[in-house]
Amino acid sequence: MSKVKRIPGFRKDLCNLCGDCLNLCPVLKLPIEVAKKEVKNLIEGKESEYALYKCTTCLSCNLYCPERANPYQLILERWNDLYKERGAPPLYRFVCPTMESNIWQLLNVFLSNQERRWIYKWMHYVPKPNDTPLLIGNYTHLFPFIIGGSQLLDYFKPIDRIDQWEGGAYLYQGGYLDIVQRIAQRTKNDFDSWGIKNIVTCLDAVEFIFKEVHPKEMGVNHSQNFINFNQWVLDKINSGELNLKKQLNLSVTIHDNCYSKALEGPYWENPRKIIKKCGCRIIEMKHNKQDSLCCGFGSGASWVKNISIIFDIITEGMKKFKEAEETGAKALISYCGGCIYLLWATKELLRSKIEIFHVIEIVRMALGEKMNYPRDHISRAWDIIAIMTYSLILSFFNKNFYIQQITYDKDLSTFKPKKYRLLKTIRYVMDFPLMKNLFAKVFHLLRLLLKSK
């Protein structure tokens, strides 16, 4: 395979060093002169004082740039340089599906039999030319009950290719650009070999990656037509094909994920229209749409110390909960599967009372479908917390690394459950309410301790 040259997304020729991107950033908020200097240093490849170590990858900076120079992609390029120099942090093995022991492999220990049946079917089905596959995605995989068993799946052939890495979406967000290019070519080979014409993506981020990032930055063009799942749902509701039997009468606030800001925000409105049609009243947070704060996941990209990554992620997530709770809304709604697992983990560690739903669950409730809410979510949140704790412990014995394999072996050996006695013990302890409260308190003490250093 010939090497295709990457095309940097940052437009140096358009940047006038005004500094607006980092000055208006809802996280950095740098004084204008400091912002100008930081942008100049990033362009010249000099030492960064702020952006590379505090950015939460929320993508707002691109919307603030008056020249549309894409400063977000400048930060990604510099992170890519850092990855080449130092590798990825040991804890990052946790989100690498081709490496032992990743979150999907570890989760196999806790999946119900029904979840295993769903996932087995989704992972093993090979689409045929006339199929319309629905890309379930790496992170919806962690909560398959969000969509599993729903009539929404009757319209598609659901597939769950974890080693497609969401098209490279979350690696792109962390600046692993050369790896994303390899994934782009890999996914193209998959799609072309299936002979399919249409693909529906559960995540806006994945649609954006396939339609915009792969061709414009990675030099990989897909011939397939990518369909946005939220747009599809809205069209079906408007046509009456999806019959909303119940009006939910919920007051809700909306979490706009980082990738929703791509292309200057076309992804914001469809979830809101869907939610309103389901009978919900929306109360916006202080930071919403172009100013929306990250769920926390993005702060892991700007890691300084491996040990602090999880604590940094939850700290950022706490800001989101504070704003959500201040609205007085009964529920926080996300339309991103990647955000859902962190929001639920943060909710449990905070012991927050606000409810959390994926927009798919809102639709399912309005359709009259039965779900085991919130019990399934609470249990899975503690599964995730146990896996994160276990992964952090393992990371103490590993070094920084480079991602070598982007495809797992044919028999999916990295997904076959092992004994994992320590992981099971950690999770067992977390079943007791007293231990949950104690764990949450210890976690926050460690978070404050690391923050003070």
Which residue ranges make up each domain of the chain?
20-86, 90-399+416-452
Taking 70 as the threshold, does the pLDDT of residue 136 lie above it?
A: yes
> Tell me: the pLDDT tens digits for 321-343?
999 999 999 999 999 998 998 99
C-alpha gyration radius of the chain? 21
Both tokens of 343, joined, read 């929001």
* pLDDT number for residue 263: 87
Tally of CA atoms within 13 A in the half-sphere of 6 that contains its CB: 18
**Nearest partner of 167 among 203, 130, 128, 124, judged by Cα:** 203
3-state helix, strand, coil in the chain (%, to 5): 55, 5, 35
pLDDT digits (tens, 9 = 90+) for 239-263: 999 999 999 999 999 999 999 999 8
Asked whether residue 2 carries a pLDDT value surpassing 50, the answer given is: no
Average pLDDT score over the chain: 93
Q: What is the pLDDT of residue 24?
A: 96
Res 104: pLDDT:
94
Strands 280-282 and 250-255 turn out to be: parallel
The predicted-structure confidence for 356-403, as pLDDT tens digits, reads as follows 999 999 999 999 999 999 999 999 999 999 999 999 999 999 999 999
Buried/exposed 154-168: b ≥16 CB within 10 Å, e otherwise: eebbbbbbbbbbbbb
Question: What distance in Å separates the CA atoms of residue 261 and residue 60, rounded to the nearest whole number?
Answer: 7
The reported pLDDT for the residue numbered 355 is 97
Res. 410: pLDDT tops 90:
no
144: pLDDT strictly greater than 70: yes
Give me the mean pLDDT over the 163-180 stretch.
Answer: 95
* Residue 419 confidence (pLDDT): 87
* Percent of the chain whose pLDDT exceeds 70: 98
Percentage of the chain modeled with pLDDT above 90: 85
Q: Rounded CA gap, 452 and 450, in Å?
A: 5
**CB under 8 Å to 375, separation ≥6 — which residues?**
none
Average pLDDT over residues 281-308: 92
pLDDT value at residue 272: 97
CA separation for the pair 392, 386 (Å, rounded): 10
The pLDDT-based confidence of 452 (bands split at 50, 70, 90) is low
Predicted local confidence at residue 264, as pLDDT: 83
Q: Is the pLDDT of residue 96 over 50?
A: yes
Report the distance separating Cα 363 and Cα 234, nearest Å: 10
CA distance 363 to 246: 10
Query: Given a cut of 80, is residue 451 above it in pLDDT?
Result: no
pLDDT band (50, 70, 90) for residue 445: confident
| pLDDT of res. 453 | 61
